[in-house]
């Protein structure tokens, strides 16, 4: 490309064509002050503050939107430029209140800083009357339009970064302001309270509601969000050993990862008064606060006694997908080395084991990693069984950005209408639970119309002919009648997917938490293999994961059949490395998974259980059975931040430190290993999980040889090749982001290949007494079992009410009106809820939100494990609706 040469401030500089004057000036070390411009947003030249003078013709140009041209003679600080800049700022101040002294934006206000830079004090201009402050009842964001300078950063953030489109200009001239549709308050608009606009607002017009006039922030710590598997970097603003605010990380070199409402406003659970501050021991059904020594001695004594009396396999451990890699690494060593059993599992097996098994069988890799940024390069995105708006907001933003900004086509397979339906090219609405029949139909069209990637299929895959043979005998009409999706629609969808060069598949628990979860995932892998879309940049296939460290907990071997790095426990070769390093002999048979642990407890085989950071009483189906299991134990230890429903059943409760109070690493759903950094001191006597585990090992008389977290990190880096990747010699203290990607790709010449998958109609067929299918939906404002999100003051203030959603026609037939109390009855349980009437669900389907505090819904689901994967099916069940 021809370089373009011009003069800026008497200095000859050159850039490439298409660059703006501002970009070239900044690159050349010349600063031009800006207000509306932001490096993460498209330039619009709204504020004109960045004007520069072209000395050839005296033109004043907004440098953020003016492309460079050869021979320009630009002056960024001529007297005219300075005079105009001052006037622009004075005009802004003339319509801005003089409330700097009490404005919480304080010294972070860009307007105030620029006024100071230009030496502007009191202004001589007449005041321009200002609109009244907008009152909002939501607990997250307050808008004060009198401080708005119309830079449109909020509008661009909403339309370009999170693609919500809640805001745009309303009116023109003096009346213009950023507003929602019908100028309604944010809580009645499309706003999801992601907080991106607040983070980018240059003045105090958009502010966090919580803690006004908090004063100046002491320090900021960059760490990783503790909620979902997206693993967004967050910046904690600390004042007086408290996390005052959470902001997205705005860094010059990476694109801005917008947060969601949980990340931006839901981290205040750290300072909840309900946090456990001291260890508790249950004595005659009451908890008593005790010292750590007492608690550890009690646990160690009980575990040693059980081990002696009933053997090591009568003990079991439940690790946590919410704890760090180091916590889980130590926990599995503790389980295998100190306790001497492989009975360890983690909460992600509830939904992830189907995926892991399908990938092992069909791709030959235990995990899948495609970076999230790549998603924006996809030409077609097939989204199935997931509503990432609630379960993985970062993925949701990426999908919408791909569609809206980069022209990707979205192929949505979901019976429900979600916000993403607005962005689709094709939207297939199969009957609930018939995904496999539909996916087989798509594969059939791809083969029949010869849309396969011939070379890839021939060279890289096996068993193609079995699949082709099977599908040849699978008429599309059969798929049509099973799924209720029109054959022509299937054809168009299949053509769209197969004709794209880079087609990505994203799936969630909607297809894994089914009786045929493994088969569903394999059917998706079939599609990807047929079109060569495996490991392809921008293409590929990805599973959404719920917790921040679901991937890491599995990588670290908090699983009954795997040591860290997916070394099978039965494999002597796999054990050897660890046995040599730890100088022990490890148990050699696969342990019990979460389900078997609970069954074992009921049967009396498991006597002692150690749960860290999980709340199975709420997260597992059939809470009554889980309760029975936990009550049958001789000894239950729960380690958590709060006295959860599960912790209340424990013999001993150990107080753990939160993510903001400890160091470590977590691995997100794309395999990126990121730092969790200590920002504040732990509450009370609570301790990081890894320290508790070390103390416990010591108390049991088998101390583990680590004196610092760094040693644990070094060891896991050395023993787990997945985590070695470019990280040698980096230490915890090093300030650079410890951000690398674990690579799960195996150097395979061939993929194990296609699977022939027969759709089986569910055994418990639709029966007249239970005519509805209930879907469990993930709400945006809560997370997991709600044990943390319900302790967030902000989130719980805004908690949407617990409602059962029902199709309008069904509701009409039953004579239901919005808000009517109804009883949702399943074969194993029932509960009360208010009815919400909607056109978003097809007929015959009702939905309930999970994770709403005080309203567990798992009691409705029968614990029907899918035999081959042990996957529970707590996503759907049959119910009837009765008037309450």
Partner 1 sequence: MNKEKEVQIDWIRLSEIIEENSDEQWSLIPMVQKIQKEFGYIPPQAIPIIAAKLKIFPSQVQGVISFYAQLYTEPRGRNTVRVCRGTACHVRGGKTILKLVKQHLGVDEGETTEDMEYTLETVACIGVCALAPNLVIGNQVYGNLNPKKLGRLLKKDGG
Among 169, 174, 311, 462, binds partner 1 (CB under 8 A): 169
* Residue 179 engages partner 1 in binding (rule: CB under 8 A): yes
Q: Is 799 in the site for partner 1 (CB under 8 A)?
A: no
Write down the least CB distance from residue 847 to partner 1, Å: 23
Residues 147, 175 contacting (CB under 8 angstroms): no
Using the minimum distance from each CB to partner 1, give the nearer residue, 189 or 702: 189
By C-beta, is 36 or 438 nearer to partner 1?
36
228 binds partner 1 (CB under 8 A): no
Q: Give yes or no for residue 196 binding partner 1 (CB under 8 A).
A: no
Nearest to 154 by CA among 144, 167, 139: 167
* From 163-171, 320-328, 709-717, 726-734, span contacting partner 1 (CB under 8 A): 163-171
- Can residue 579 be called a binding residue for partner 1 (CB under 8 A)? no
Choose which of 124, 126, 172, 473 interacts with partner 1 (CB under 8 A). 172
Interface stretch with partner 1, choices 1-9, 160-168, 493-501, 530-538 (CB under 8 A): 160-168
The answer to whether 69 contacts partner 1 (rule: CB under 8 A) is no
| Nearest Cα to Cα of residue 527 among 754, 238, 744, 358 | 754
Q: Does 174 engage in binding with partner 1 (CB under 8 A)? A: no
Chain mean position to CA 242:
24
Decide: residue 125, CB within 10 A, 0-12 exposed, 13-18 middle, 19+ buried: exposed
* Position among 45, 165, 366, 664 found at the interface with partner 1 (CB under 8 A): 165
* Burial (0-12, 13-18, 19+ Cβ within 10 Å), 782: buried
- CB closer to partner 1 out of 185 and 865: 185
Output the CA angle 460-466-467, nearest 5 degrees. 75
Residue 172 Cβ vs partner 1, minimum distance, rounded to whole Å: 5
Do 134 and 143 meet the contact criterion of CB atoms below 8 Å apart? yes
Torsion over CA: 290, 294, 296, 300 (sign): negative
Q: For partner 1, which is the closer residue by CB, 179 or 835?
A: 179
Name the minimum Å distance from CB 376 to partner 1.
Answer: 18
Residue 141 sits in the site that holds partner 1 (CB under 8 A): no
Q: What are phi and psi of 600, to 5 degrees?
A: -60, -35
3-state secondary structure 341-397: CCCEEECCHHHHHHHHHHHHHHCCCCCCCCCHHHHHHCCEEEEECCCHHHHCHHHHH
Instruction: Rule CB under 8 A: say whether 181 interacts with partner 1.
Output: yes
The reply to whether 182 sits near partner 1 by the rule CB under 8 A is yes
- Residue 168 near partner 1 by CB under 8 A: yes
CB of 191 to partner 1, least distance (A): 10
Name which of 635, 632, 654, 634 is nearest 643 in CA terms. 654
Binding window for partner 1 (CB under 8 A); candidates: 173-181, 207-215, 446-454, 602-610: 173-181
> Which of 791, 488, 471, 510 minimizes the C-alpha distance to 640?
791
The string of DSSP codes covering 300-343 is HHHHHHHHHHH-GGGEEEEE-TTS-HHHHHHHHHIIIIII----
Cβ at position 420, least distance to partner 1 in Å = 13
Nearest to 432 by CA among 883, 879, 755, 881: 879
Instruction: Pinpoint the alpha helices (H) of 118-172.
Output: 153-156
What is the closest distance, in whole angstroms, from the C-beta atom of residue 510 to partner 1 in the complex?
24
Main-chain phi, psi angles of 724, to 5 degrees: -80, -55
With CB under 8 A, what is the number of residues at the site for partner 1? 16
Token pair listed for 594: 């979460």
Stretch of residues binding partner 1 (CB under 8 A), selected from 12-20, 166-174, 443-451, 831-839: 166-174
- Which backbone phi and psi does 384 adopt, to 5 degrees? -140, 140
171 binds partner 1 (CB under 8 A): yes
- Distance, in Å, from the CA atom of 758 to the CA atom of 408, rounded to the nearest integer, reads 32
DSSP class per residue in 161-226? IS-----EEESSGGG-EEE-GGG--GGGSS-----HHHHH-SSSSEEESSSTT-----EEEEEE-S
Q: From the CB of 416, what's the least distance to partner 1, in Å? A: 17
Stretch that binds partner 1, among 175-183, 325-333, 519-527, 675-683 (CB under 8 A): 175-183
Residue 160 binds partner 1, judged by CB under 8 A? no
Residue 166 found at the interface with partner 1 (CB under 8 A) = yes
- Taking the complex as a whole, the smallest distance from the CB of residue 179 to partner 1 amounts, in Å, to 7
Does 170 participate in binding partner 1 (rule CB under 8 A)?
A: yes
User: By C-beta, is 166 or 636 nearer to partner 1?
Assistant: 166
Nearer to partner 1, 423 or 578 (CB): 423
3-state helix, strand, coil in the chain (%, to 5): 35, 20, 45
What is the rounded CA–CA span in Å between residue 285 and residue 770? Answer: 40
> Quick one: 5 or 183, whose CB is closer to partner 1?
183
**CB of residue 700 to partner 1, shortest distance in Å:** 59
Q: Which of residues 412-441 bind partner 1 (CB under 8 A)?
A: 422-423
The residues in 481-520 that bind partner 1, with binding defined as CB under 8 A, are: none
Region for 386 from its dihedrals, namely left if φ exceeds 0, alpha if ψ lies in -120 to 50, beta otherwise: beta
Nearer to partner 1, 410 or 852 (CB): 410
Nearer to partner 1, 179 or 317 (CB): 179
Binding positions for partner 1, rule: CB under 8 A: 159, 165-172, 179-182, 190, 422-423
């Amino acid at each position: 490309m021809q370089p373009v040469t011009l003069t800026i401030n008497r200095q000859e500089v050159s850039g490439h064509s298409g660059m703006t004057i501002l970009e070239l000036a900044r690159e050349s070390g010349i600063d031009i002050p800006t207000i509306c411009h932001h490096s993460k947003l498209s330039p619009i030249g709204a504020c004109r503050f960045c004007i520069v003078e072209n000395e050839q013709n005296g033109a004043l140009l907004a440098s953020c939107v003016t492309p460079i041209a050869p021979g320009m003679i630009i002056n960024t600080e001529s007297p005219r430029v300075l005079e105009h800049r001052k006037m622009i700022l004075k005009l802004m101040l003339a319509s801005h209140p003089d409330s700097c002294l009490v404005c919480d934006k304080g010294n972070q206000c860009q307007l105030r800083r620029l006024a100071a830079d230009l030496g502007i004090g009191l202004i001589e201009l007449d005041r321009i009357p200002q609109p009244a402050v907008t009152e909002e009842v939501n607990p997250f964001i307050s808008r004060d339009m009198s401080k708005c300078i119309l830079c449109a950063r909020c509008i661009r953030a909403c339309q370009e970064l999170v693609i919500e489109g809640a805001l745009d200009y309303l009116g023109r001239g003096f009346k213009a302001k950023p507003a929602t549709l019908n100028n309604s308050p944010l809580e009645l608009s499309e706003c999801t309270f992601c907080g991106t606009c607040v983070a980018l607002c240059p003045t105090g017009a958009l502010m966090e509601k919580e803690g006004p006039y908090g004063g100046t922030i002491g320090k900021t710590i960059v760490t990783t969000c503790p909620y979902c598997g997206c693993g967004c970097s967050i910046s904690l603003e600390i004042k007086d050993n408290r996390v005052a605010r959470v902001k997205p990380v705005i860094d010059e070199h990476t694109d801005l990862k917008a947060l969601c409402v949980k990340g931006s406003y839901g981290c205040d659970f750290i300072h909840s008064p309900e946090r456990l501050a001291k260890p508790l021991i249950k004595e005659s059904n009451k908890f008593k606060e005790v010292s750590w020594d007492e608690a550890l001695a009690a646990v160690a004594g009980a575990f040693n006694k059980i081990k002696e009396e009933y053997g090591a396999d009568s003990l079991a451990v439940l690790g946590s997908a919410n704890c760090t890699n180091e916590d889980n690494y130590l926990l599995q060593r503790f389980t295998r080395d100190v306790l001497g059993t492989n009975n360890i599992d983690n909460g992600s097996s509830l939904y992830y084991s189907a995926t892991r098994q399908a990938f092992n069988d069909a791709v030959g890799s235990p995990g899948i990693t495609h970076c999230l940024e790549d998603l924006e390069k996809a030409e077609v995105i097939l989204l199935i069984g997931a509503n990432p708006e609630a379960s993985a907001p970062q993925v949701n933003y990426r999908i919408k950005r791909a569609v809206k900004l980069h022209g990707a086509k979205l192929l949505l397979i979901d019976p429900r209408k979600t916000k993403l339906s607005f962005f689709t090219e094709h939207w297939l609405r199969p009957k609930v639970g018939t995904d496999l029949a539909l996916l087989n139909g798509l594969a059939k069209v791809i083969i029949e119309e010869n849309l396969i990637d011939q070379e890839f299929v021939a060279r890289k895959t096996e068993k193609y002919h079995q699949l082709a043979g099977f599908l040849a005998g699978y008429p599309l009409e059969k798929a049509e009648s099973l799924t209720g999706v029109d054959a022509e629609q299937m054809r168009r969808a299949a053509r769209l997917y197969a004709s794209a060069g880079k087609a990505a598949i994203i799936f969630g628990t909607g297809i894994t938490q089914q009786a045929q979860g493994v088969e569903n995932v394999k059917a998706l892998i079939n599609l990807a293999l047929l079109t060569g879309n495996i490991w392809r940049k921008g293409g590929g296939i990805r599973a959404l994961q719920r917790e921040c460290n679901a991937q890491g907990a599995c990588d670290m071997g908090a699983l009954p059949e795997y040591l860290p790095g997916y070394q099978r426990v039965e494999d002597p070769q796999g054990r050897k490395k660890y046995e040599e390093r730890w100088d022990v002999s490890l148990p050699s048979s696969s342990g019990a998974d979460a389900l078997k642990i609970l069954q074992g407890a009921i049967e009396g085989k498991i006597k002692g259980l150690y749960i860290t950071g999980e709340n199975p009483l709420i997260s597992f189906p059939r809470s009554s059975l889980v309760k029975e299991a936990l009550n049958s134990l001789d000894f239950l230890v729960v380690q958590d931040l709060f006295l959860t429903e599960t912790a209340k059943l424990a013999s001993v409760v150990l107080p753990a430190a939160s993510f903001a109070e400890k160091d470590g690493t977590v691995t997100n759903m794309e395999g990126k290993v990121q730092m969790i950094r200590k920002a504040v001191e732990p509450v009370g006597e609570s301790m990081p999980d890894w320290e508790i585990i070390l103390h416990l090992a010591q108390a049991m008389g088998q101390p583990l040889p680590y004196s610092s977290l760094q040693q644990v990190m070094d060891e896991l880096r050395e023993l787990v090749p997945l985590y070695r990747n470019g990280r040698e010699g980096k230490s915890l203290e090093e300030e650079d982001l410890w951000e690398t990607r674990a690579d799960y790709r195996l150097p395979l010449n061939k993929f194990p290949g296609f699977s022939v998958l027969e759709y089986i109609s569910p055994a418990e067929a639709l029966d007249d007494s239970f005519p509805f299918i209930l879907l469990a939906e993930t709400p945006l404002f809560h997370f997991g079992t709600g044990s943390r999100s319900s302790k967030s003051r902000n989130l719980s203030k805004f908690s949407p009410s617990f409602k059962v959603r029902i199709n309008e026609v069904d509701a009409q037939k039953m004579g239901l009106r919005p808000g009517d109390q109804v009883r949702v009855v399943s074969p194993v349980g029932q509960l009360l809820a208010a009815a919400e009437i909607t056109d978003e669900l097809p007929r015959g389907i009702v939905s309930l939100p999970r994770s709403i505090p005080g309203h567990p819904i798992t009691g409705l689901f029968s614990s029907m494990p899918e035999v081959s994967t042990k996957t529970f099916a707590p996503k759907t069940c049959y119910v009837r609706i009765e008037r309450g």
